[in-house]
């Protein structure tokens, strides 16, 4: 795993990949104590962004829908360096609130976006309108120097026949494909709308924009708030909620790497005007994740299904609507899915936590937060999520994927 971020390390990294003049500009940002705005601060990814920003010494302003929601506010209040954290109420569906929210901020990490596993058309409008609310507010605030927007690989690879293809940042999801569901549409349309708006601004006065496209995000949770990744991984711990693994393949990235990428991109001028895939390159099948969890937790009383579902059976099951989430998986059935992370390595020097380590550490944290019930039979392991998982720390899988730009399975 890469070392913790600090303001000094970020400036050093940026200066080594930028010109001398760019380096001095970044130094001035640090000395002026910039404020970083993180939207949807209580969310899975955003909470990690806030955590890393505070640890790096950044003044951080986080938006939440309600300061009275203890379940979402308390995890933020447990983070270090509380004197640097300011929380404000703001709703992306009320654009009139946002100019005052953005006022005085130097950087914006727009992380907030809906991710229901089964998305409807409203998901699209919320994602697009929310993105435009933030960008319009940023364009009216002269202090904003850069926006880092969280998009998704769903804006890159959906609707294509992947076969032997390796997806990179030049690829866009094919919105005319019948296989593209509403979540992928929401991320694709929101990102394209963001680029169109940014390109329409006055080049002499506009803020800089970087878009990050993470794959399926796993890794430790910092709160008990449910989210899409936790729902999917959590279901694997019980054969009654995960009857069989679909023959579907994903790109996977650890949430800590996603947060780190946001903070590195924030001050790195080489990323201005770029979209960047954030991912480990190992193709991960659903059965791989289930097997990793089985190997780690089989002696703790959890019962896992050994079955891999035939494609025809999954399609029939999805049509019954007994489990709406199965319908969201059907269009993912297919051959091995592969992504390139070379751009993230070249521009951000990213090093990636292995998916096996990420998934196992995620589950330990979910158990600790009570998001996965301990089995009535069998003794639950008392191992802390902060410890290295067994069968992982001493294996090839625990090593970070660093600057060698692999684009195929390990």
> Known catalytic residues?
187
Phi, psi of 65 (to 5 degrees): -70, -35
Cα distances (Å, whole numbers) of residue 226 to 40, 182, 240, 390: 14, 20, 19, 26
CB-facing half-sphere around the CA of 351: CA atoms within 13 A? 10
Name 255's Cβ contacts closer than 8 Å, sequence gap at least 6: 44, 45, 48, 217, 218, 219, 220, 358
Range list of β-strands (E), 165-323: 166-167, 208-214, 216-218, 249-250, 252-254, 275-278, 284-285
Number of Cβ within a 10 Å radius of residue 85: 20
Backbone torsion region of residue 290, taken as left when φ is above 0, otherwise alpha when ψ lies between -120 and 50, otherwise beta:
alpha
Place of tokens 């993180």: 38
Angle at 32 between CA 257 and CA 269, to 5 degrees: 45
Cα distances (Å, whole numbers) of residue 402 to 153, 295, 309, 347: 20, 26, 34, 13
Residue 236 token pair: 């694997």
CA 147 to chain centre: 16
Residue 173 token pair: 């999801």
Are the C-beta atoms of residues 134 and 92 closer than 8 Å to each other?
yes
Residue 36 three-state SS: strand
Cα distances (Å, whole numbers) of residue 211 to 25, 118, 188, 238: 21, 24, 12, 36
CA 5 to chain centre: 18
């Amino acid at each position: 795993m890469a070392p913790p971020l600090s303001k000094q390390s970020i400036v050093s990294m940026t200066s080594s990949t930028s010109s001398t003049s760019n380096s001095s500009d970044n130094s001035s940002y640090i000395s002026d104590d910039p404020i970083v705005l993180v939207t949807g601060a209580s969310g899975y990814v955003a909470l990690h962004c806030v955590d890393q920003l505070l640890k790096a010494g950044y003044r951080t302003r986080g938006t939440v829908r309600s300061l009275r929601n203890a379940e979402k506010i308390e995890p933020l209040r447990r983070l270090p360096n509380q004197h640097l954290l300011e929380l404000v109420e703001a709703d992306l569906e009320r654009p009139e609130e946002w100019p005052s929210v953005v006022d005085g901020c130097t950087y914006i990490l727009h992380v907030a976006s809906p991710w229901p596993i089964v998305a409807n058309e409203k998901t699209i409008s919320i994602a697009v309108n929310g993105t435009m609310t933030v960008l319009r507010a940023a364009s009216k605030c002269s202090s904003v120097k850069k926006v880092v927007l969280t998009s998704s690989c769903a804006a890159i690879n959906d609707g294509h026949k992947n076969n032997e293809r390796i997806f990179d940042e030049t690829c866009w999801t094919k919105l005319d494909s019948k296989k593209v569901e509403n979540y992928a549409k929401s991320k694709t349309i929101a990102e394209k709308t963001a680029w169109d708006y940014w390109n329409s601004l006055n080049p002499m006065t506009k803020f800089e924009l970087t878009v990050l496209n993470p794959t399926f995000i796993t890794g430790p949770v910092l709160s008990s708030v449910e989210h899409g990744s936790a729902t999917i991984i959590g279901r694997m711990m019980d054969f009654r909620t995960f009857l069989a693994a679909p023959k579907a393949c994903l790109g996977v990235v650890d949430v800590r790497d996603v947060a780190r990428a946001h903070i590195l991109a924030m001050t790195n001028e080489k990323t201005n005007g770029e979209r960047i895939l954030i991912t480990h390159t190992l193709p991960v099948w659903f059965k791989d994740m289930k097997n990793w969890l089985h190997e780690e937790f089989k002696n703790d009383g959890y019962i896992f299904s050994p079955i891999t579902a035939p494609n025809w059976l999954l399609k029939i099951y999805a049509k019954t609507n007994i489990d709406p989430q199965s319908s969201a998986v059907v269009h993912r059935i297919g051959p091995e899915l592969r992504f390139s992370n070379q751009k993230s390595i070249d521009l951000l020097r990213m090093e990636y936590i292995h998916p096996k380590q990420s998934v196992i550490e995620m589950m330990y944290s979910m158990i600790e937060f009570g998001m996965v019930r301990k089995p009535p039979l069998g003794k639950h392991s008392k191992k802390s999520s902060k410890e290295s998982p067994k069968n992982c720390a001493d294996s090839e899988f625990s090593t970070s994927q660093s600057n060698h730009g692999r684009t195929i399975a390990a």
